[in-house]
Amino acid sequence: MSANLSKAWTIARRDLRGRFVGLRLLIICLFLGVATLAAIGSLTSAITDELANRGQSILGGDLEISVAQREISSAERATLTAAGTVSETLRMQAMARVPDGSDTQLVELKGVDAPYPLYGDFTLADGTIAPPLSDKQIYVTPALIQRMSLKTGDTLLFGEAAFTIAGIIGDEPDRLSEGLSLGPVAITSIGGLRSTNLVQPGSLFESKYRLKLPASIDPAELGDRLEAQYKNAAWEVKTRDNGAPSTRRFIVRMGQFLTLVGLTSLVIAGIGVGNGVASYLRGKQGAIATLKILGADSGMIFSIYMLQILAVSLVAIFAGLIVGAIAPLVIIEVAGDILPIKPEFALYPLPLIVSAAYGLLIALIFALPPLSRAKLIPAAGLFRGDSRSWRLIDRPTWIAVGFSIAAIVALAVGSTDEPAFSMWFIVAALGILLLLSLLGIAIRWLASKAPRPKQPLFRLALTNLHRPGAQTGQLVVALGLGLTLFATLAAIQTSLTNEIRLSIPQEAPNFFVLDIPVERAEEFKATVQATASDAEINIVPTLRGIITEYGGQIVSELEEIPEGAWVLRGDRGLTYSADIPEGSEIESGKWWPADYNGPPLISVDSEQAAALGLKVGDSLTVSLLGVEIKSTVASLRTVNWRNFGFNYVLVFPPNVLAGTPHNVAATIQMDSAGEDGLLGSLPRNFPSISMIKVKEIASQIGTILDQMATAIGAAASIAIFSGIAVLIGAIAASRQSRVYDSVILKLLGATRFQILSAQAIEYAALALLLSAVALGLGLLGGWFVITQIFEFTWQPDWGVVLMTLGLGAVVTLGIGLLGSIPVLSAKPAQALREL
């Protein structure tokens, strides 16, 4: 056995002679697929490892307790102090003002204590450690310096306090765990923040308590004990292992999608491998026939060319792994600022091993069938160029292909945190390949049964679809995949773009205004109307609470949060109203009377009620300022979350919450010309408020979605390049038979233009038919990515999708015609001698 393999390798090596002529398509396809998957896996591993390694500094401690709208009591603090070193921070939105009142800016104001930070370094822009702040000093970010034209030493006003800018922030170690910010950051001492008098009963602020624990204490166990001990305190507990859960969820979601793109590239690469190997072996017909005449059996033939394919595949895979391993370094350098965290470069063996295994298995699956055909064809058939013999595949090959597919399934399911996702992708990929393959067979059969057109060019084009040696099946798969990718990418890109553009209604408010003292609500309204008489003002009470029980289920006893029940993730906004809120419609149950004064009732958003399994009459308990309010679900509402008004999942009757300390919030809709006047007057008269411009929110969200769309486009372009390579391979695989046809037609008097026109009609007919199929498949794939992976609304731009699909059809048609040029250039005498 080893002697035969040695002989086979010697022949294979001499046949290659250090060149890969004929196998370039295999190299390109495998290289692109493996490099894409390795790069995605390496980058995702780099980011998740960085999140894990920097968990303490990102969270700011080993354990974090966060509470909304209040600070913890002395008894609660004593419990935390007994466990370890405690650091306290307060965080809220506030309006920064310059002394002359000429400029204002919404800022995230943060107060820190002396132990801050427990982990990591709080540095200034020059790289030095930030000195402790007095109650009259403040550090600001470069963004605030730029927006308000400030400099170190300038005075900045917040509420009733004035601060001197003591420095510019370089690195805030726990920034990632703070989540999305609506404005630049400013940091002062806790005493300084309290001196602003912005922290009042009912104002919207968040207090956080980070603990540095001894090595002997497990943060997760301590967190569970504290939640059980203070189950009514509305605490949100995080550990260093998950300090930035929203960032981690985003990375997982993007990693899922990009992995899907990588697997798609590899599947497409596999088709290219199959076409490339088939084309290569057809070109080796004479050599294979000669070896068989000289005594080589089918096993030797298989071994020779299998060793060649494996050697070339390993070269392509190795090159792809090198590029995939160093790709994160390039991405980090080029796009590090837009990544949620900038990881350190390192080699991650697991994604490289997984990518290599995928590449090798894909190469085997698609290379084995043409290799099987090559070993089964008799020498006489090879010399005659009998195309029908190339359809033979023996049983052992089918078994080997089946085992390889099973290995890919096992690898995909075993190497992911969401095996169901990978399994559905594999099923979908196999389904699409099967559908396109069956469509190719159907087109070939229908073309053979269709009436013959009288026009010679159309008759020739129709015959090309079903003649012996026609590569209609391969062309249908290649064209179908390419056009499907174009449609999918266009649908995803335009849906992401429209997510923000179409989400903001034409009549959206200009401002959200938070933390208006409830006793000054009428005064606030009068001040706005004095500056902008045409302004429409909607004032609503605003509070924050946390759900502790629903339908008899204690939230703290849940092993995991139900799918889609985001309302259980920490504290949520809630309000009270005598009337049905604007933008809501009752779906079931009924609204309470305007003068209701009975036991606590509550109205719940119907989507969240469905996620929680709630129905009218069930119980729901909310912890508000440390007090639990157990209520009965009176109604379920359909909420229009896209009207950019104040929408709440939970709404109570006024009698339940009106006596609770709280502030009110307002939306202001007005002519945009008066915005600057309000920005100048309102913060001066109401120092506690925070004014949020809707356009700034839209801009932030738009930037994030644009970055997502760019990443998706860059990753998907690799799959498109693979699809183009597959199309070229399918054309190359049929070159020999087309050269023969071209030569015969030339001898019969056909011109190059006529031959090219017949092929153009053939490709155009396939592109037109497949465009309809690709549109359906592409829209289905885009819908799945947008709604199931990213959980956005499906709203593609149909015109752009159709234009992109049309452009893709033209591009693929052009590639097909360019691939026909060498066929037209074949000289009859030379071609006939070589056939």
- The CA distances from residue 603 to 142, 309, 712, in Å, are 44, 66, 39
Residue 652 has pLDDT above 90, yes or no: yes
Q: Residue 404: its pLDDT value, please?
A: 85
Q: Residue 550: its pLDDT value, please?
A: 92
Q: Which of 17-21, 318-322, 402-406 has the lowest mean pLDDT?
A: 17-21
Q: Residue 390: its pLDDT value, please?
A: 45
Residue 604 has pLDDT above 70, yes or no: yes
CB 565 within 8 A of CB 612: yes
pLDDT tens digit string along 458-467?
A: 888 888 787 7
Q: Say which DSSP state 128 is in.
A: P
Residue 783 has pLDDT above 70, yes or no: yes
Q: What is the rounded average pLDDT for all residues in the chain?
A: 80
CA–CA distance, 620 with 552 (Å, rounded to integer): 8
CA–CA distance, 181 with 171 (Å, rounded to integer): 15
Q: Residue 825: its pLDDT value, please?
A: 67
CA–CA distance, 742 with 826 (Å, rounded to integer): 8
Q: Residue 22: its pLDDT value, please?
A: 63
- Give the pair of three-digit tokens for residue 127: 């790289």
CB 301 within 8 A of CB 292: yes
Q: Say which DSSP state 519 is in.
A: G
The three-state secondary structure class of 581 is: coil
Q: Which of 53-62, 275-284, 453-462, 776-785 has the lowest mean pLDDT?
A: 275-284
Q: Which of 81-95, 408-422, 557-571, 626-640 has the lowest mean pLDDT?
A: 408-422
CB 460 within 8 A of CB 758: yes
Q: Residue 378: its pLDDT value, please?
A: 64
- The CA distances from residue 178 to 94, 405, 484, 667, in Å, are 16, 44, 40, 25
Residue 760 has pLDDT above 50, yes or no: yes
- Give the pair of three-digit tokens for residue 258: 């990009």
Confidence grade of residue 127 (pLDDT, cut at 50, 70, 90): confident
Q: Write phi, then psi, for 692 (nearest 5 degrees).
A: -115, 120
- Give the pair of three-digit tokens for residue 445: 């059969």
Nearest to 288 by CA among 26, 275, 280: 280
CA–CA distance, 361 with 33 (Å, rounded to integer): 12
CA–CA distance, 363 with 59 (Å, rounded to integer): 44
CA–CA distance, 374 with 482 (Å, rounded to integer): 28
CA–CA distance, 563 with 527 (Å, rounded to integer): 45
Which residue's entry shows tokens 């889609």?
A: 564
CA–CA distance, 504 with 502 (Å, rounded to integer): 6
> How many Cα atoms within 13 Å fall on the side-chain side of residue 447?
23
Q: Residue 617: its pLDDT value, please?
A: 92
Nearest to 692 by CA among 674, 673, 675: 675
Burial (CB < 10 A; 0-12, 13-18, 19+), residue 548, is buried
Which is more confident, 578 or 289? 578
Per-residue pLDDT, averaged over 556-585, amounts to 84
Concatenated DSSP letters of 633-687: EEEEEEE-TTS-S---SEEE-HHHHTTS--EEEEEEE--GGGHHHHHHHHHHH-T
Confidence grade of residue 503 (pLDDT, cut at 50, 70, 90): low
Nearest to 236 by CA among 532, 1, 12, 570: 570
Residue 602 has pLDDT above 90, yes or no: yes
Residue 267 has pLDDT above 80, yes or no: no
Q: Residue 253: its pLDDT value, please?
A: 66
**56 alpha carbon, distance to own chain's centre:** 26
Per-residue pLDDT, averaged over 111-139, amounts to 91
Q: Across-strand partners of 536?
A: 669
Confidence grade of residue 614 (pLDDT, cut at 50, 70, 90): very high
Nearest to 592 by CA among 605, 581, 601, 584: 601
Q: Residue 192: its pLDDT value, please?
A: 92
Residue 389 has pLDDT above 50, yes or no: no
Q: Across-strand partners of 144?
A: none
- Give the pair of three-digit tokens for residue 796: 């593609």
CB 26 within 8 A of CB 366: no
End-to-end Cα, the chain, rounded Å: 36
Q: Across-strand partners of 584?
A: 639
CB 452 within 8 A of CB 462: yes
Q: Residue 730: its pLDDT value, please?
A: 64
Per-residue pLDDT, averaged over 249-253, amounts to 67
Q: At what angle do helices 349-376 and 24-53 cross, to 10 degrees?
A: 160
Residue 387 has pLDDT above 70, yes or no: no
The three-state secondary structure class of 203 is: coil
Which is more confident, 730 or 453? 453
Nearest to 314 by CA among 351, 354, 357, 282: 357
Q: Residue 34: its pLDDT value, please?
A: 86
Which span out of 120-134, 233-247, 643-657, 741-755 was modeled with the highest average pLDDT?
A: 120-134
Which is more confident, 83 or 409? 83
Which is more confident, 725 or 123? 123
